[in-house]
Structure 1
Amino acid sequence: MLTVIAFIVALGLLVTIHELGHYSVARWCGVHVERFSFGFGKVLFKRTDKRGCEWAFSALPLGGYVMMRNEPPENATAAEVASAYNAKTLWQRSAITVAGPVANLVLAVLLYALIGAVGTQEPAPIIGPAPENSVAASAHIPAGSIVTAVDGRDVASWNQFRWNMMDALASGRDIQLATTDPSGVAIQYDIALPKVHMDPDKPDVLAEAGFVLMPGTPVVKELVEGSVAGQAGVQVNDLLLSVNGQSLQTADQFVQAILPLANQTAVLRVEREGTQLTIPVAVAAAESAGKEIGRVGIKVGNALPMVTVRYGVLDSIQQGFTRTIDTLWMSLKMIGRMLIGEVSVKNLSGPVSIADYAGQSASIGVIAYLNFLALISISIGLLNLLPIPMLDGGHLLYYAIEALQGRPLSEAWQARGRAIGLGILAFFMVLAFTNDFTRLFS
């Protein structure tokens, strides 16, 4: 249910903002708007304002639409003729058309600015041990190094580091990595990154290059009801420091230390609210794949070092603008790389995947959902700017031809363009749905 609600809210909001962009500039240019509908289908409620625009609320809340007066009615007055869309100048029609995608981009700027002003908790940009023969290992970056900048752009969190690295990996280029090593010494690395093929079915390309997040301290996330660990006094949020004197760095190390201790005592060293405690636990025995293994009833996670990423009002707006432009530009490059085969078409997502992402982000929290809304808003803006007939970008293409030749493109050629555009959109819709259902059932 959360997924459905989150998807409907996202699509309804983002499409409505898009249509409000068209509406606002149309009104500013003197075009008569006959109807603005929130949603599609049967009209549940409507009201006509003093300008003659009907505001309708319809049954299917998946966006909305604007209906403008394209041609004046018969026996129209001079004012009615002037208020028709097709009576407006080329630049006015272009402004009305581009206003929808621009509204989506402005919304993304505002959402990212809000996120920056409120602040987020994100993993610190600390590089973990690099796998052998990886790019990071070849650069001899010591584990525990803190990344401070990528190509001169400041990095405050692992998320920011990852964002800057993904574009470099997709294009395959040299980067400059500024770090502070574990002893506090500033070191800069010049690294040649290989070009990677972006495929969602493949492992994390950043991790493949050897750039992995430094594992946090193992922490007790949950205690199984009636567990021996709980009975011994272990509590949720305890940091797990060692087992029988063996220091722990990762959650997996804790699991591996417990497995061979069936029917034995495991002496756990934990940290609770700044105080270290020693807790003996009688390890229970369980059978797995015909072998006896140890179980203590703890679900373990990693307590990662976190940083608060927050900006002032003006810096938040600047960050919102920068992040929107960066996302737009990267998305455009990914589309180009997809067309020439450098990026897998499996990265293309349809409504099913978008709905799934909406539900997942909403379940994480408000900030994650706002990030999702900003990203999808950028995607809607970019999609509509593509020069494909049937989209806003297709109309802008027609207007560009009109500007060059001094007259509108003939109706016959516009009809051919619409047919081509419909075919292109149908092809990508089928591809997106195929990817969606492949992910769903694989």
Structure 2
Amino acid sequence: MTLLHTILAFLGALIPLVIVHELGHYWVARWCGVKVLRFSVGMGKIIYSRKVGPDQTEWALSMLPLGGYVKMLDLREQPDMLLSPEERKREFTNQTVWRRMAIVVAGPLANFLTAIALFTGLYIYGIPEPTPKLRAPAEQTAAYQAGLRGGELITAVNGEPIHIWSDLRWKLVQLAVEKAPARLAVERVNTGPNGGTVGSTITIPADALKTDEMDGDFLGRLGLELGRPKAILGKVAADGPGFQAGLQTGDQVRSVNGQAVNDGDVFVNLVRASPGQALQLTVLRAGRDVAVQVTPNKITVDGKSVGQIKVEIMSAPEMIIARSGPIDALAKAAVRTWDSSILQLKLLGRIVTGEASVKNISGPITIADYAGQTARVGLITYLGFIAAISIGLGVMNLLPIPVLDGGLLLYYSLEVLTGRPLSERVGQFGQRLGIGLLMTLMLVAVFNDIVRLIT
């Protein structure tokens, strides 16, 4: 069922975006007066089709769902075709170079507009997001070496305000691509007699912000993890080891076998790792420390033995609803789409020059995995994922690779400069080169996907 859910989530994200992309080409082609012969969702053998409208455009569903195309009246495909003077006016190559460029760019543009529309809707509706409050980092991480100890609230990165966790990740990814240091403005709880908070600036050096596999746990490798609530006990089941040991609702676990417990997740992991083993707990109760010994039950989960004491622990991070008005939401969505596009282009440039690892190239397996994960989290997260994929499709199709929209734009740009179209021989060579480049990229992407699954 999980595999089926992942496949459906992947197709549910990809197919609508492909349709939107091809509709961009279709609408602008019609607007320019070009006759459209076929609109296909999917590639390969047609399994269903129907002709509609005065031009009898064939709307088709093809066997392979990972793509689509718009077929226009084009003498390059059938040079011996006999056309009436009226039809010749509607043939693609007979259009001005500017109209041809508009038809080509309309597909990627439709993807960018889709991303803006989705982000705008999400910002207006409100996105539940964790606050950028930090967990205690491991000593070997860049965050610890920079001076972070856990409990800090990040309020800005390089002078730009930060309100939610995804803003923090996004800004650090940008700085990693730009190879720039991150200056984090943080607030700490003042433990002195005056209370309140104390502000300071922590700098993570540029060489710690590595671009390798940024689609993974990028922040976690830096030591930046979401802060969790203290290990305060909720309901204590009467038939569990916790109740029998004397644990009470409201107890705060401070240490286990002498090891400090900073949050609820740490306590849960220690209990799960100790089936049938006695644990010496120090809990804070009514302002004083109390020693408690508890022995977790031994249960089996997914074929592994884990400990259980039947006590509720609050471990969810602190959340806020990030919401904007319509105008601000539209502006934020446009900026987010632009910044995402530029970031992807910069990262691709660094991969080409060898400054970033090819491990950052992801393929359909990784995308499908993320589609399944985000769909399981909820509709808001899934729509955000679809917006990100829409940007990726737009950027990919604008790459100056023959057979892609960007390659065609390159051809037409050269035609504008030289005053004449490229020769058919050059076009055929470019097409073979483009197919080779795309196949190489796909092989690299699938290889990276398989390595991620294995590791």
TM-score (norm 1): 0.84
Q: How far apart, CA to CA, are the structure 1 residues paired with 2:225 and 2:451?
A: 28
Provide the rounded CA distance (Å) in 2 between the counterparts of 1:239 and 1:63. 56
Task: Note if 1:23 corresponds to 2:26.
Answer: yes
| Paired position in structure 2 for 1:8 | 11
Deviation string for 1:79-98 (max 9, x for gaps)? 21110110100110001001
Distance between the aligned counterparts of 1:265 and 1:10, measured in 2? Answer: 50
Partners in 2 of 1:383 and 1:189 — Cα distance? 36
**3-state DSSP class of the match of 1:34?**
strand
CA deviation string 1:382-416 (max 9, x = no partner): 11100011111111111111111110111111111
Aligned to 1:56: 60
**Residues 94-103 or 179-188, more deviating:** 179-188
Q: 1:400 aligns with which of 413, 420, 441?
A: 413
Partner of 1:252: 266
The Cα offsets for residues 88-144 of structure 1, whole Å up to 9 and x where unpaired, read as 001100010011111111111111111111112111112343544755445545643
> Partners of 2:115 and 2:403 in 1: how far apart?
24
Selected match of 1:389 from 402, 414, 423: 402
Find the aligned partners of 2:32 and 2:435 in 1 and give their Cα distance.
29
Query: Which of 31, 34, 37 is residue 37 of structure 2 equivalent to?
Result: 34
Single out whichever of 402-411 and 150-159 deviates more from structure 2: 150-159
Indicate which of 345, 348, 368 corresponds to 2:358: 345
Is 1:434 the counterpart of 2:447? The answer is: yes
1:100 aligned partner, one-letter code: G
Look up the equivalent residue of 2:72 and give its one-letter code: M
Does residue 420 of structure 1 match 2:433? yes
Is the 8 Å Cα contact of residues 24 and 107 (structure 2) preserved in structure 1? yes
* 1:270-302 alpha-carbon deviations (Å, 9 max, x no partner): 99xxxxxx9x996346599xxx99752458672
Question: Which residue number in structure 1 is paired with residue 335 of structure 2?
Answer: 322
2:207 is paired with a residue whose SS is coil
Q: Report the CA distance shift for 1:32/1:285 in structure 2 as closer, same or farther (over 3 A).
A: closer
- Indicate conservation of the 8 Å contact 1:219/1:302, yes or no: no
Describe the SS at the equivalent of 2:93.
helix
Conserved in 1, the CA contact under 8 Å of 2:271 and 2:308? no
- Matched to 2:13, the amino acid is A
1:153 to 1:283, Cα distance in 2 relative to 1, 3 A: same
Unaligned stretches of 5+ residues in structure 1: 272-277
Relative to 1, partners in 2 of residues 1:417 and 1:257: Cα closer, same or farther, differing over 3 Å?
Answer: closer
What do the CA deviations read for 1:209-232 (whole angstroms, capped 9, x no partner)? Answer: 443433333477999997444889
Matches within 5 A, 1:155-304: 155-182=162-189, 183-188=196-201, 192-194=205-207, 196-200=209-213, 204-218=217-231, 227-229=240-242, 241-242=252-253, 248-250=261-263, 251-253=265-267, 255-256=269-270, 259=274, 262=277, 283-284=295-296, 286=298, 295-297=308-310, 302-304=315-317
Q: CA deviation at 1:370?
A: 0.9
Tell me the TM-score normalised to structure 2 length: 0.82
Give aligned-pair identity as a percent: 36
Could you tell me which of 353, 363, 368 is aligned with 1:355?
Answer: 368
Residues 262 and 293 in structure 1, CA contact (< 8 A), matched pair in contact too: no
Describe how 1:40-119 pairs up with structure 2 within 5 A: 40=43, 41-71=45-75, 74-119=81-126
> C-alpha distance in 1, partners of 2:254/2:306?
16
Describe the shift of the 1:281–1:116 C-alpha distance in structure 2 as closer, same or farther (beyond 3 A): farther
Task: For 1:221 and 1:343, locate their aligned partners in 2 and report how far apart those are by CA, in whole Å.
Answer: 47
Superposed displacement of residue 180, structure 1: 3.3
Q: Are residues 92 and 133 of structure 1, via their aligned partners in 2, closer, same or farther at CA, if it must alter by over 3 Å?
A: same
Query: Separation in 2 of the partners of 1:223 and 1:427?
Result: 57
Q: Deviations over 1:185-229 (max 9, x none)?
A: 444556543254433399845344443433333477999997444
Task: Report the number of matched residues.
Answer: 431
- The answer to whether the 8 A contact 2:141-2:223 is kept is yes
User: Are residues 248 and 22 of structure 1, via their aligned partners in 2, closer, same or farther at CA, if it must alter by over 3 Å?
Assistant: same
Q: Is the alpha carbon distance of 1:222 and 1:73 closer, same or farther for their aligned partners in structure 2, counting shifts above 3 Å?
A: farther
The range that moved more, 128-137 or 174-183, is 128-137
* 8 Å Cα contact 2:415-2:421 kept in structure 1: yes
Quick one: structure 1 residues 226 and 417, their matched pair in 2 at CA, closer, same or farther if it must change by over 3 Å?
farther
| Aligned partner of 1:364 among 377, 388, 406 | 377
| Alpha carbons of structure 1 residues 28 and 298: separation in structure 2 relative to 1, 3 Å | same
Q: Counterpart of 1:156 in 2: which secondary structure?
A: coil
